[in-house]
Amino acid sequence: MDGNRRFAKERQQPRAQGHESGFQKLAETLQWCFELGIYEVTVYAFSIENFKRSKEEVDGLMELTKRKVAKLMEEKDKIMEHGVCIRVLGDLTLLPPDTREAVAEVVRFSKNNTKCFLNVCLAYTSRHEIAEAVKLTAEGVELGILEPSDVTETLLDKTLYTNKSPDPDLLIRTSGETRLSDFLLWQTSHTCLIFEKALWPAFSIWDFYHAILCYQWNYTKLKTEKDKTERYKLTKELESLKQSIAHKQIQAQNKETSQVDEHEIEEAIKRKDERQQAFLSFVDERRQQILESRC
């Protein structure tokens, strides 16, 4: 959702009006998605880098966020009727307490909805997300919840803020900028990337249709590459598990080599899955505590 400030500047409007126009465009675009059967959308609302802007602008954006959340609360019945689950992804400890509380309220009341999903990235960058996931897995090992060999690409993927969502099929960036600006870097390796020239508040339904058509045109190639990568990843993780089992047997039996049978592999996978599930529960509880924190 890039280009709000330039949109306002072109019209000699205050920056705050540009951000207001951007929120209005988001509501309109979500309606287009719903009508086309797109039931999960992730938006980049506020980067951690945006905290470097002037205090006046940051305060204005936080106030705008609270107002829009209050508007969502007024539409609570409609949100529940359509089964919309609203998630907020990012480091919520960086938000002012009143903004965090407003966000927590809308997340709480919609968390059990399962028809549509709106993921709002707030106080987010992808590098920060990945760093936090690595810190959490290191803590999991230190606490004895995980073994070092349990830390895999698949586990890191499940430790990210986006762990309840599939990787995006299509990413649209407006305003003519041809970079991702630290947004979903981990998740977009097999995503169709579309860079539209229109500023976000001026993004039209025809721009939207163009992006959808580009995605459809590239769908088969993207899916083939994604499936190939997934198979390779699972094969490498299984091979790594076998090596870990063999290494433990060699250490226990004081032998130079060890043969790993299928039963041992199945048992090791079961124990690994149990440890990883315990760790992911730990991660969810930690993030829930942050969301509920009012201090």
Q: What is the pLDDT of residues 190-245, one digit of tens each?
A: 999 999 999 999 999 999 999 999 999 999 999 999 999 999 999 999 888 888 88
**Pick from 270, 225, 266, 264: which is nearest to 248 by CA?**
264
Tokens of 213: 């058509």
Tell me whether residue 165 is exposed, middle or buried, using C-beta atoms within 10 angstroms of its C-beta: 0 to 12, 13 to 18, 19 or more. middle
How much is the average pLDDT of 100-120? 94
Q: How far apart are CA 146 and CA 154, in angstroms?
A: 14
pLDDT band at 68 (very low <50, low <70, confident <90, very high): confident
Q: What is the pLDDT of residues 255-266, one digit of tens each?
A: 555 666 788 888
User: Looking at residue 250, what is its pLDDT?
Assistant: 67
CB 149 within 8 A of CB 244: yes
Length of the chain: 295
- Residues in a beta bridge with 40: 117
Query: Residue 195: which region, alpha, beta or left (left: phi > 0; alpha: psi -120 to 50)?
Result: beta
**Pick from 81, 44, 38, 91: which is nearest to 290 by CA?**
91
Provide, rounded to the nearest whole percent, the portion of the chain with pLDDT above 90: 75
Query: Residue 228: in which H helix or E strand, if any?
Result: helix 205-253
Ranking 97-101, 144-148, 153-157, 194-198 by mean pLDDT, the lowest is: 97-101
- DSSP states along 168-183: PSEEEE-TT--S--SS
CB 157 within 8 A of CB 163: yes
Q: How far apart are CA 273 and CA 110, in angstroms?
A: 29
